[in-house]
Structure 1
Amino acid sequence: MEYRRKRQRFALMSGAAVLALALLAGAALRAALPAAVTAEAEVPLLPEDGEQKLIALTFDDGPRRSTTTALLDGLAERGVHATFFLIGAQVEGNEDVVRRMEAEGHQVGIHTYDHVALTGLNRADFDAQVGRTRALLSTVLGHGDFLLRPPYGMTDASVKAWAECPIIIWSIDPEDWRDQNTPREVEEVVSQARDGAIILMHDIFPASVDAALQIVDRLHAQGYLFVTVEELFAARHISLEPGKSYSNAYP
């Protein structure tokens, strides 16, 4: 299966990439011993004392040219990689932004075509949301290996059976859509941050872009290294499996 082959190659590459980034940050990334993982991957490895703290910053609902481009500029200035779960309907006209994401080391994933809940759909409607977006992103990026984030984090047996890729949820959600209050979002995320966390934000709001960059600066000062979702799990030796849901890589 194409995803599994690429996943194996990625695990080898990302380990070296994360190590290099950690050295630049002044902290060596040390490998841990394998550990059992539950079906939902809620029991990752325990980092050794002094190991680099890793955290994944993820964004839903884009791309939006104005805000997403500003975010990419800010992340590039800080040397930070993030994961973007994209709406298929938003990709048309923003193909260059999507290509820039991947070219600059960010990970691109699927967030359906029209931002509809996937639970309860029949197979044709599911494919119109997920398969159509996968095909669109494949045309833009030249490959078909994308993680899935279901809108609202909602899954059921059919979603897991039809996903054909790992399903990524989150462990920190400041609900930045609620009031677009930058200071509140920053404090909520920073106060909940921990090694292995996955942060959910939205790159379609200017306040969220400002908050995300402030979060990066605050957590960098606390010794965190920002990585993509795949880099996070690869660094903890956790294999992401199609059809299974993951919300963190906690020790």
Structure 2
Amino acid sequence: MALAFPLSVAAALSARPAAVQADAAPPGETGAAPEAVLPPDDEMKLIAITFDDGPRRSTTTRLLDGLAERGVQATFFLIGEQVEGNEDVLKRMDDEGHQIGIHTYDHVKLTGLNKTDFDAQVDRTRSILKGVLGHNDFLLRPPYGMTDNGVKTWAGCPIILWSIDPEDWKDQNAPREVRQIVSEAKDGDIILMHDIFSASVDAALQVIDQLHAKGFLFCTIDELYAARHIDLEPGEVYWNAYP
């Protein structure tokens, strides 16, 4: 019987010792090698799915339910002003292994700001997230993907953009979003979506199921780059982790 293939890279790596042990069993004995074994780390088809603009209780919690059912961890870039009243949603993200990042306090373009205004958007949000979660290892995604020297200098953390953007905010058309993402997906991609739209939640879960069937493993941003042996550096901008 074939080994069930995990959807997430974390599950794959945790499953690896069992797969290796099974592979070592003599043929014909209980625990003999499964038909499918996990590929080496550098041969996995890895992809990160990310969500901006949340949390929104109605849609984000439904997305978290779907991710939990699939054993998938995602990365969420949050709006600071939306954390109040949703602290439990934020804690759930963290508890369930999702990565969390900053998407400014109220979705302001960061380019051209002075240091005081930049800090009011980024450091204020960082403090809010730290106050809820107790740690301070957050990534930054600038609204609209816009960066300049000021953003890079003051970020204080890696800056994460994307390589696949279905522009789900435009028409909130789940079937179109699914077709586009699945057709474009490559090993090392970072998918941009928004967990504030019901259609995007529908699309994201369908994308996960379809790409899983194609052999992709899902991971957080940190997991994606760690698997590629790339150190994320503060102030540097990253779009993908192509091998």
TM-score range, shorter chain: 0.7 to 0.9
Q: Does 1:239 align with 2:231?
A: yes
Q: Does 1:173 align with 2:183?
A: no
Decide which of 220, 225, 240 is 1:228's aligned counterpart. 220
Correspondences of 1:116-195 after superposition (within 5 Å): 116-195=108-187
Measured in 1, the distance between the counterparts of 2:37 and 2:204 equals: 23
Matched pairs, number: 220
| C-alpha contact 1:22 1:52 (8 A) present in aligned 2 | no
| SS, match of residue 125 in structure 1 | helix
Measured in 1, the distance between the counterparts of 2:71 and 2:103 equals: 25
Measured in 2, the distance between the counterparts of 1:21 and 1:249 equals: 23
Measured in 2, the distance between the counterparts of 1:24 and 1:52 equals: 17
Measured in 2, the distance between the counterparts of 1:220 and 1:23 equals: 21
Identical amino acids, percent of aligned pairs: 73
| SS, match of residue 61 in structure 1 | strand
Measured in 2, the distance between the counterparts of 1:65 and 1:231 equals: 26
Shift of 1:117: 0.5
Q: Which has the higher contact order (CA 8 A, sep 6+)?
A: 1
Measured in 2, the distance between the counterparts of 1:22 and 1:68 equals: 31
| C-alpha contact 1:60 1:85 (8 A) present in aligned 2 | yes
Q: Does 1:76 align with 2:68?
A: yes
In the alignment, what sits opposite 2:13? 19
Shift of 1:28: 2.5
| SS, match of residue 204 in structure 1 | coil
Aligned CA RMSD, in angstroms, stands at: 1.9
| SS, match of residue 135 in structure 1 | helix
In the alignment, what sits opposite 1:93? 85
Measured in 1, the distance between the counterparts of 2:206 and 2:18 equals: 20
Q: Which runs of 5+ in 2 are unaligned?
A: 1-8, 20-35
Q: Which has the larger Rg?
A: 2
Q: Which amino acid aligns with 1:92?
A: E
Q: Which amino acid aligns with 1:30?
A: P
Q: When the two structures are superposed, what TM-score results if normalisation uses the length of structure 1?
A: 0.84
Q: Does 1:215 align with 2:225?
A: no
| C-alpha contact 1:22 1:225 (8 A) present in aligned 2 | no
Correspondences of 1:41-120 after superposition (within 5 Å): 47=42, 51-120=43-112
| SS, match of residue 165 in structure 1 | coil
Measured in 1, the distance between the counterparts of 2:15 and 2:128 equals: 31
Measured in 2, the distance between the counterparts of 1:17 and 1:239 equals: 22
Measured in 1, the distance between the counterparts of 2:164 and 2:55 equals: 21
Measured in 2, the distance between the counterparts of 1:24 and 1:75 equals: 24
Instruction: Classify 1:16/1:224 alpha carbon distance in 2 versus 1 (closer, same or farther; 3 Å).
Output: closer
